[in-house]
Amino acid sequence: MVADEMELINKKFGKRNFFIVDSSFNSDEKHMEEVLREIISRNLNIRFSCYLQPKMEDRSSFALLKKAGCVAIDFGTDSGSEKMIYSMKKNFTIDDVKKASLECKKEGIDFCHSLIFGGHGETSETIKETVSLMDSISPKAIIAMTGIRIYPGTEIEQIAQKEGYIKIGESMLNPKFYFSSIGPALLIKEVLERISGRRNWFFPGEKDWSLSLGARLLFFFYQKGPLWRTFKQ
């Protein structure tokens, strides 16, 4: 089905650039590989980007991604601290993050890591660990957010209630966000100080990005795909 739609759009409308909007394309690696092999078998002249979790059981899948036309990957990593990865109940490790990043570099695939600061247990030390890891793996871009969205029936809701962020039974229709004991203001200040001078970090709200929009759009014209691929390191 995925390959069918890509082929139709490619041949009927001449479109070459795709974004596989799956929250985690490799959550089922077997299915992902089947899709990639089908794209390859049809000799489609396309390029695509996708979301992946930073863990791949079969590391040769990165070569398959490249062969199928993958030019960019956005990893939903959330943190570069073992403590925070455990706190967020992720199914990968720091070693997985490093290996996935290394494979992207090996295959010549641009990659980005998306992060969320402020989870339960976040401290100055865990922020430092995350920034240090990003420095060591050197992705094309890092997209950093602060605050964990609170949803009903989740463990973070229970933690937020216990710590007084929200009341028991409070409606979550209007978004509520959890921040670690550091607090929102100090958390943002700490992150900004840690990432100072790094050109591959994008921290929404840090500055008026519209001031540099013209130059980025000009570059974006010639390199289709995620806007973060236009970041200059």
Range name among 5-9, 60-64, 149-153, 219-223 with the lowest pLDDT average? 219-223
- In a domain, residue 90? The reply is yes
Range name among 94-98, 165-169, 196-200, 202-206 with the lowest pLDDT average? 202-206
The CATH number assigned to the domain holding 88 equals: 3.80.30.20
- Give the residue numbers spanning the domain of 73: 2-145
So what's the pLDDT on residue 191? 94
- In a domain, residue 228? The reply is no
Residues 63-91, mean pLDDT to the nearest whole number: 96
Collect all residues with Cβ–Cβ distance below 8 Å to 62 and sequence separation of at least 6.
56, 100, 103, 104, 106, 107, 109
More confidently predicted of 67 and 229: 67
Outline where DSSP puts E strands in 40-120: 47-52, 70-78, 110-117
Range from 42-51, 119-128, 167-176, 201-210 that averages highest in pLDDT:
119-128
- In a domain, residue 178? The reply is no
- In a domain, residue 60? The reply is yes
Q: Token match 């993958």: residue?
A: 70
Q: Which of 84-121 are b and which e, b meaning 16 or more Cβ less than 10 Å from the residue's Cβ?
A: bbebbebebebebbebbbebbeebebbbbbbbbbbbbe
The first and second tokens of residue 83, run together, are 């403590």
Residue 178 pLDDT exceeds 50: yes
Residue 232 CB neighbours (<10 A): 9
- This prediction has a pTM of 0.87
The domain tally of the chain equals: 1
- In a domain, residue 229? The reply is no
- In a domain, residue 176? The reply is no
pLDDT in tens, 11-31: 899 899 999 987 789 999 999
- In a domain, residue 224? The reply is no
* Cα 3 from Cα 41, distance rounded (Å): 10
Taking CB atoms within 8 Å and a gap of at least 24, the contacts of 10-17 are 10/44, 10/45, 10/46, 16/45, 16/46, 16/47, 16/224, 17/46, 17/47, 17/48, 17/224, 17/225
Please state, rounded to an integer, the average pLDDT across all residues of the chain: 89
Residue 230 pLDDT exceeds 70: no
So what's the pLDDT on residue 29? 94
- Comparing CA positions, the residue from 74, 114, 105 lying closest to residue 229 is 74
pLDDT in tens, 77-90: 999 999 999 999 99
Q: Cα–chain-centroid distance for residue 174? A: 25
So what's the pLDDT on residue 210? 47
So what's the pLDDT on residue 223? 55
Rounded to the nearest 10°, the torsion over CA 101, 106, 110, 116 is: 0
- In a domain, residue 114? The reply is yes
